[in-house]
Structure 1
């Protein structure tokens, strides 16, 4: 296993290697927007972000930020050692379907209780996600749901060779 070499952050940037483990939940005033099928399906400035060592932030939006009918329950689930049991969601808009492209925690652990019911989305499974107008790059790999913006530097968990981090 190769040890990661963190990229030094420049002015106005954050290094994911300065994020904590266990992860931290924090409010964000950033404008979070999502598109699917050419339709803006969510828009809010009432989000949360979860910060964890080696991961770009994962953003959680209130369910009311989504257009009515966009979110429908998807099969399956998972358990996070920090947040608890996740429920998955399918997004539908503009004639396009993104199966299991979102997840939420209905009853998260006490440290994450404020984000109960808030919804995170895999950026790579929808047309586009933005943070304060900046188009995000999905976190590498298919397992993690972080959103990479120009103000966050890595290397990031999920890239080839990072399984053992």
Structure 2
């Protein structure tokens, strides 16, 4: 059966505060030949000017690869984010994954989901399509053919 073609989305039509969009798209993340996560139960966070950030159920991460670390950051919408290092044989990727253990009320569906920076991983795919990471080191957006920019994050776009 052929996959349903997605209608292109302009990130400038996404709302602020961000919306949550449950997705059955298959998300597969690999690094150094190891499957980090594989899911068809993700939540896309859609915020004006940003490509979506996919939040993957924690249950769909390969067990034993995430090691929680100290420190938090604050999102005005979602609340306090916690972080984990990704630990693979021969290396550690600091703060590669984050989640909201007790998200603010409009974002409680994210409580058991985690996001990651696609630029840090060898291969991140949505329905078989290779993801391009959002520019910059602050946002964790996932660019696919489904979304259209311009995107915030690159140098010179902070004040948009």
Which TM-score bucket, shorter chain as reference?
A: over 0.9
Query: Counterparts of 1:57 and 1:140 in 2: how far apart (Å)?
Result: 13
TM value normalised by structure 2: 0.93
State the alpha-carbon separation in 2 of the partners of residues 149 and 138 from structure 1: 9
Cα distance in 1 between the residues matched to 2:89 and 2:26: 22
Q: Secondary structure at the match of 1:120?
A: strand
Cα separation, 2, equivalents of 1:94 and 1:38:
11
Which residue does the alignment assign to 1:88?
A: 83
| 1:82-101 CA-partner distances (Å, limit 9, x unpaired) | 00000011112353321101
Q: What per-residue deviation string (whole Å, max 9, x for no partner) do you get for residues 92-151 of structure 1?
A: 235332110110000001111011021100001121211111110111000000100011
Instruction: Decide which of 1, 8, 15 is 2:10's aligned counterpart.
Output: 15
1:161, distance to aligned residue in structure 2 (A): 1.3
Which of 29, 42, 45 matches 1:50? 45
Count of equivalent residues: 155
- For 1:104, the equivalent position in structure 2 comes to 99
Task: Output the CA distance in 1 between the equivalents of 2:141 and 2:83.
Answer: 16
Which residue matches 1:37?
Answer: 32
RMSD value over aligned CA atoms? 1.2
> How many angstroms apart in 2 are the aligned matches of 1:38 and 1:104?
24
**What residue in structure 2 maps to residue 74 of structure 1?**
69
Note the residue ranges of structure 1 that are not aligned, 5 or more in a row.
1-10
- Determine if contact 1:39/1:94 at 8 Å carries over to the other structure: no
**2: CA distance between counterparts of 1:107 and 1:61?**
16
TM-score of the superposition, structure 1-length normalised? 0.90
